[in-house]
Amino acid sequence: MKITILIIITSCCVFPLVFANLRLGFYGVSCPKAEAIVRDVVQRHFNKDRSITAALLRMHFHDCFVRGCDASLLIDPTGNRSSEKDAVPNRTVRGYDIIDDAKSILERACPETVSCADIISLATRDAVALAGGPSYNVPTGRRDGLVSNPKEVRLPSPTLSVSEAMQSFGAKGFSLMEMVTLVGGGHSVGVAHCSMFRERLSSFRGGSVDPTMDPNLDARLVELCGSSNRPATNDPTVFLDLNTPFAFDNRFYNQILERRGILHFDQQLAMDESSRDMVSRFATDGDILFQDFANAMIKLSAVNVWLDNEGEIRRNCRAFN
């Protein structure tokens, strides 16, 4: 299943003040090939590694949830200054090479024109489409931020309840439906380290199986992750969607309805009375998921963006000008 979604942004709908400045085709005159350049770079990387969809979705989320979508996550730490990359949740973020490749080509084609923040949003959109997900339009015109502080990195934990996570998403302007959409869509192609869910496993619970987890899944994960006395080395990863881990689809929602969610929070989405019906709806109708996910991603990409003469257009995405 693959559908194309065309979103028309008007000043009377979501985020009116932001979308009045972000617009489709922002680089139509200043850098006409900008979006094609990003798309070609993403295609080249995807051909070698289909897991980049998950990597870019995670990068996009981690950037936008801290200070907004300003590419602050891309800044490298230096000898006398730390950055968001130093924060624990960001130490396993990857995909920076994709952004670097796109920026390098764009700087040769249109120097100091296309922001790193826009590259993240465009690259993520293209990677989702390549994985079989919705193809949607992303308004552009973001500017790059001037601060990258690891102390400001506060992201929702996979151990939270639905209501606790909703506090974090709600603070960014997202509804419960949008949270369920973004989390499920992102986890459709994502992975998790054993350290993120091992406390759910019987080998870490004195032999007691988590009643919210399918026993067969518990046995499979115990074999991978080890026990509290002898944990697996190198903290292995497991696909969050056990059936179609590289395809963007609605199978993840069916999986958590069967008590086969890897992360505590994922499983809670299917069990909490506030979100259970939404999960069932997406599990039944993938087209609705695609439409809602596209809308939620466009909204995510507009969180607290820098516009017009704010911030800067970095020459190198890893360093302030």
The class level of CATH for 162-299 reads mainly alpha
What's the pLDDT score for residue 91?
94
- Contacts of residue 136, Cβ cutoff 8 Å, sequence gap at least 6: 4, 5, 6, 7, 125, 294, 297, 298
- Contacts of residue 147, Cβ cutoff 8 Å, sequence gap at least 6: 67, 72
66 is in an annotated binding site: yes
Alpha-carbon distance of 118 to 110, in angstroms, equals 14
The stretch 195-223 carries a mean pLDDT of 95
62 among known catalytic residues: yes
Q: How confident is the model at residue 228 (pLDDT cuts 50, 70, 90)?
A: confident
What's the pLDDT score for residue 233?
86
Q: Phi-psi bin for 176: left (phi > 0), alpha (psi -120 to 50), beta? A: alpha
What's the pLDDT score for residue 229?
87
What's the pLDDT score for residue 19?
55
pLDDT at residue 45 is higher than 80: yes
What's the pLDDT score for residue 23?
94
| Closest C-alpha among 208, 192, 210 to residue 200 | 210
pLDDT at residue 17 is higher than 70: no
Alpha-carbon distance of 253 to 240, in angstroms, equals 11
Averaged pLDDT of the chain: 93
Q: Are 272 and 161 in contact (CB under 8 A)?
A: yes
pLDDT, tens digit, 9 for 90 and up, residues 71-110: 999 999 999 999 999 999 999 999 999 999 999 999 999 9
Structural domain boundaries of the chain? 33-155, 162-299
Q: Are 124 and 106 in contact (CB under 8 A)?
A: no
Instruction: Considering the domain delimited by 33-155, tell me its CATH architecture.
Output: Orthogonal Bundle (1.10)
303 is in an annotated binding site: no
236 is in an annotated binding site: no
Alpha-carbon distance of 128 to 1, in angstroms, equals 13
pLDDT at residue 118 is higher than 90: yes
Residue 24 is classified by DSSP as: T
Characterize the bridge pairing of strands 135-136 and 4-5.
Answer: parallel
What's the pLDDT score for residue 8?
39
Out of 60, 62, 193, 264, pick the active-site residue.
62
115 is in an annotated binding site: no
3-state secondary structure of 252: helix
Query: C-alpha distances in angstroms, 289 versus 69, 95, 248?
Result: 23, 25, 10
